[in-house]
Chain A
Amino acid sequence: MTISRKDIEKVAVLARIRVDDEQVSALEKDLGNILELVDQLSAADTDSVEPMAHPLNAVQRLRPDEITETNQREAFQAIAPATENGLYLVPRVIE
């Protein structure tokens, strides 16, 4: 299966990664080759096969509904790019 420039530009927006025109050309080739490799899967007969999400068929564990974590806001905000008054700063969203 081939992947078009338009597809790459669309996926880049979904993935929140800026790509310029030159990069799109390189990605067209690389992603096309990867998808060609992946297309081998279509040869497998999987009609009656259950998809496998976990190797050990484990189910999600439950725990008592109790607070176990302590508040570490200061420690976590100390490594953030920008904070103010205990909040994470990002560019203005609403004018």
Chain B
Amino acid sequence: MHNKSVAELSRELESGKISSVELTREYLGRLKKEDEQLNSFISITEDQALADAHAADEQRAAGKATPWTGVPFAHKDIFCTNGVATTCGSKMLANFVPPYDATVTENFRKAGAVCLGKTNMDEFAMGSSTESSHFGATTNPWGLSKGEKRVPGGSSGGSAAAVAARLVPAATATDTGGSIRQPAALCGVTGLKPTYGRVSRYGMIAFASSLDQGGAMARSAEDAALMLNVMAGFDPKDSTSIDREVPDYTATLDEPLKGLRIGLPKEYFADNLSAAMEEQVRGAIRDYEKLGATVKDVSLPHANLAIAAYYVIAPAEASANLSRFDGARYGYRCEDPKDLMDMYTRTRAEGFGAEVKRRILVGTYALSAGYFDAYYLKAQKVRRLIQQDFIDAFREVDVLMSPTTPSPAFIQGEKSNDPVTMYLEDVFTVAINLAGIPAMSVPAGFVDGLPVGLQIIGDYFSEARLLNAAHQFQQVTDWHQREPQ
């Protein structure tokens, strides 16, 4: 049963072949057994899951089911869950039990889905390897059969590893600079980062508010579409949420791709990409040509500045967002503070990990007197140039395609002592967040037995087209069906 997709499980529940309680018990059993070596979950909410499964079975019996009623899944531990610990991977929030739900959490609850627990992540979503979690690193299920402990990518590495290992059929995730797509690529699953503002950020613990976007991690594009149907929509509680009609993302999955114009950004097929990675990605693009798409080279001339702009803007926003963690109202507080300043400085020194502190300091520096124009304002101007590159490209083509990452999953510890090397893991993904456009990563091959992701980038609010393109690719390939041993 654990090998079935969300769509298949939904059909099994509808036909009465299995109940949600049976399904939930099976997944919980598997999760408790298999996650010991992966550490993809921070918490497992067994009692709540079984209670929700009972309720879901009653809902189905009453004829009030949605496609999600009784289907198990997991939330990244960045989404607030009423009455359930929400840690954001940090010691600072290790004891935080929110008294409210995030809008995304509430939407899945209303749809009748069964949350099995909260997945591991880089602390406050800062990282590309899920090694900076206070609750220990997550291990990529790929490579384990050879005795290798590889990273699952980050920051949604827990969600990606759990979906890849078939511990859950789907999980929520968030993407500030590539944190859905990069782990999806390294774990061989399908990840979707929607347009900025498409999914509410209310109750999603903020890292960089102008970049953060909740999205979907699943095994297939069809399942990602089912997730987005639940997640997307206007939310008056989020001032950056966009008031725009939400289509049924499953309705257009089967449309043929004949005539689809694909652009290949030449800057994303440059020296930093290995020949083996390029071969896999170009192989996937040839599959698209067989499906009737046309391909042309395009240019994103400011692509080389994306990482630099991102590492000013994201830390600057993080330094403001994380100022709320001061030991006064919730979360960790140091022992016996002697005065207010001592409480603030020791609480934050003890509660935050090294990468979070680094980014807060960089952000504070970039925003401080004398440096604001040179760093923050300059980065926001470069951000406009990067956005304009995409606007120009989408005048010529319907979607852009590229590798998601420059290389497959690396060994744990290989890059954790070198922040700049780690930052370059997101070299193909950060520009998309700066522009606020949607993008996906879909499994597209293997290098040395490790998954390779194809990134599909679209214009604003073109999620349906991306999902359609990914789904059609998954009808003629089986990369997304491959399972780690």
Contact = CB atoms under 8 A, between A and B. Distances in A.
Given A37-B307, A44-B305, A16 B378 contact: no
A81 B328 contact: yes
B343 to A, nearest CB: 6
B382 A46 contact: yes
A6 to B, nearest CB: 12
Interface in A34-85: 34-35, 37-44, 46, 49-56, 58, 60-61, 63, 72, 75-76, 78-82
B197 interface: yes
A51 B377 contact: yes
Contacts of B423: 34, 37
A33 interface: yes
Contact of A14 (B311, B338, B352, B368): B368
SS of A interface (majority)? loop
A18 B338 CA distance: 14
Interface string A3-20: 100011001101111110
SS of B interface (majority)? helix
B236 interface: yes
A62 B167 CA distance: 43
Interface in B408-459: 419-420, 423, 434-437
Interface residues on B, range: 35 or more
Contacts, number: 165
Contact of B368 (A11, A49, A63, A81): A11
Contact of A15 (B319, B333, B339): B319
A39 B305 CA distance: 10
A34 B311 contact: yes
Contact of B348 (A17, A72, A78, A80): A17
Contacts of B366: 38
Contacts of B98: 79
Given A11-B361, A34-B358, A91-B338, A52 B99 contact: no
A54 B434 CA distance: 9
Contacts of A18: 345-346, 348-349
Interface in B80-101: 95-99
A56 B329 contact: no
A16 B348 contact: yes
Nearest to A60: B239
B99 A46 contact: no
B420 A52 contact: no
A62 to B, nearest CB: 10
Interface string B190-224: 00000011000000000000100000000000000
B340 A91 contact: yes
B361 A17 contact: yes
Contact of B210 (A8, A42, A43, A53): A53
Contacts of B364: 11, 14-15
B34 to A, nearest CB: 32
A58 B242 contact: yes
Nearest to B421: A33
Given A37-B308, A56-B242, A91-B343, A31 B358 contact: yes
B382 A81 contact: no
- Among A11, A61, A79, max chain B CB count under 10 A is at A11
Contacts of A17: 345, 348-349, 352, 357, 360-361
Contacts of B239: 60-61
B309 A41 contact: yes
Contact of A79 (B97, B210, B327): B97
Given A53-B380, A58-B240, 12 more contacts: A11-B368, A12-B361, A16-B345, A27-B361, A38-B308, A46-B382, A49-B381, A52-B380, A53-B210, A54-B210, A55-B437, A60-B239
Interface of B: 95-99, 196-197, 210, 236, 239-240, 242, 302, 304-305, 307-309, 311-312, 319, 323, 326-333, 337-346, 348-349, 352, 357-358, 360-362, 364-366, 368, 374-375, 377-385, 387, 419-420, 423, 434-437, 460
Interface of A: 3, 7-8, 11-12, 14-19, 27, 30-31, 33-35, 37-44, 46, 49-56, 58, 60-61, 63, 72, 75-76, 78-82, 88, 90-93
* Shortest beta-carbon contacts, A-B, top 5: A55-B436, A51-B380, A46-B381, A81-B333, A75-B99
